[in-house]
Amino acid sequence: MSSYLSSEYYSNRIKQARKKMAPDSAMVLFSSGKKERNSGVHYSYRTNSDILYLTGINTPEFAIYIDSKEGTHIFLSESNAEKTRWEGRGVTFENISKNINIDIEKNIHPYEKIWAKLKELLKNKETVYFSLGKDGQIDVKITETINNIKNNLKKGDFAPTRIIHPQEILHEMRIIKTPEEIKLMKKAAEISAKAHENLIKYCRENVNKKELFEFELKSYIEWEFSKNALTSLAYPSIIAAGNNATVLHYTNLTSKVSAQDLVLVDAGCEYEGYASDISRTFPAGGKFTEAQKILYEIVLTAQKKAFEKCYINNTLDGIHDAALNTIVDGLFELGFFKKFLFIKNEKTEMKSSSSKEEIIKKEYYKTYYMHNTSHYLGLDVHDAGSRYINHKPRPLENGMVFTIEPGIYMPHEYDFLPEEFRGIGIRIEDDVIMQNGKHEIITHEAPKEISDLEV
């Protein structure tokens, strides 16, 4: 449970959601279930982000019911003596009452009574906001409950006829961060940026002293995340040395790091549920090769051009175009589109292009840069909210938080490239907040200028 956001904060957030709901409607949200890792062992628990957004409660066997007119009901499976002995004291009715400011006697119920209570609460509701498709067992129980209401109606009563995904309300709310949320996100960014800075120093100091492996760098940065605050990972850390950095979601982490390698680190912590997301690429031994430096300068310039496009009423598409055009310009001038391998619809063929316009129109650039430049950031690392409104790119607003992460990837298998450019992967990623009509880079303390990465 969040100790940084007040009970008034959560109760007001629930009221805001209620105001956006249709007349005669109800919203029902269930916490995520525990996930088994292997026999008798579960993954570390983290509930779904919509539950965290409305309540700050992170526990399984938990649900919230919100009525469009009035009333909020919470359902919780409290710990018994045996469970407490094994797992410790969990979330209690009293905890919830304090966290979202509701009455224990009237509005908080044992989780095992939820279906009988929902049968009562959902009667005479036209619309139910519920996330179909997340949990098959709960889907069945919801539809059974609605059917039971239909089959037992008294004269003048009615049953729900529509089910709508809550994201229509909650994800639109989540896209604009409050000052309180921004404070938490800045803390996550601060912790992560410092961890990246220290990791770069650690790698540089040790790569020539001993055998250094990717998994050791992973352990080091994750220790840095946790040593000053209670954090968790926002996503699995990517630590990729040399050619491994050309694999976007590299997870093996068993390779040795050499002083001549570029090391790509994509890692961020989550603080009070809010994610940070940082990527840095640096020479393990403190010195770029000429080819590494050329490509790194292109990516860094692309990111800076993207920052220039971070203003109110521009769009994430506009930001991406700025980064993309810079990367295409740089690679085009180096001659990397005279002969290249293009993959589309699982078909692979050699291509050649002498036109930047053709490269962009036909997406030939995806040979070297295959992902988007930005995504929203918040309670999820790829956070809620649509990039488009009425099929048009969504304008940037104050309170939006997003990443900017251009990259270039040249696998060693690309034998059509000069040898010195093969096996290089580079990504530079920062987190940006729109505030007071302008952008703020909240991860700037993680080094990325060439002068800061070389010794």
What secondary structure does DSSP assign to 229-292, as a single string? Answer: S--EESS--EEEEGGGGGSTT-----PBP-TT-EEEEEE-EEETTEE--EEEEEETTS---HHH
What is the overall mean pLDDT for the chain?
A: 94
CATH 2.40.170.20 matches 7-174: no
CATH 3.40.350.10 maps onto the chain at: 7-174
What integer pLDDT is reported at residue 39 of this predicted model?
A: 85
Confirm if 236 and 225 have CB atoms less than 8 A apart. Answer: no
d(CA 158, CA 453): 67
Confirm if 431 and 276 have CB atoms less than 8 A apart. Answer: yes
| Best CA proximity match to 132, nearest among 160, 172, 153, 100 | 160
Q: pLDDT tens digits for 252-263? A: 999 999 999 999
What integer pLDDT is reported at residue 5 of this predicted model?
A: 87
| Best CA proximity match to 146, nearest among 132, 135, 111, 63 | 132
Angle, helices 214-226 vs 179-206, to 10°: value is 140
179-453 CATH: 3.90.230.10
Mean of pLDDT values over 13-18: 96
d(CA 62, CA 442): 34
Which residue type, as a one-letter code, is found at position 135? D
| Best CA proximity match to 57, nearest among 42, 38, 78 | 78
| Best CA proximity match to 102, nearest among 59, 145, 70 | 70
Residue 80 banded pLDDT, cuts 50, 70, 90 = low
Residue 78 banded pLDDT, cuts 50, 70, 90 = confident
Mean of pLDDT values over 228-238: 91
Residue 1 banded pLDDT, cuts 50, 70, 90 = very low
Asked whether residue 30 carries a pLDDT value surpassing 80, the answer given is yes
Report CA torsion sign: 370, 376, 381, 384.
Answer: negative
Which residue type, as a one-letter code, is found at position 312? I
Residue 346 banded pLDDT, cuts 50, 70, 90 = confident
Residue 91 banded pLDDT, cuts 50, 70, 90 = confident
Task: Provide φ and ψ at 280, rounded to 5°.
Answer: -135, 145
Percent of the chain with pLDDT over 90: 87
CATH 3.90.230.10 maps onto the chain at: 179-453
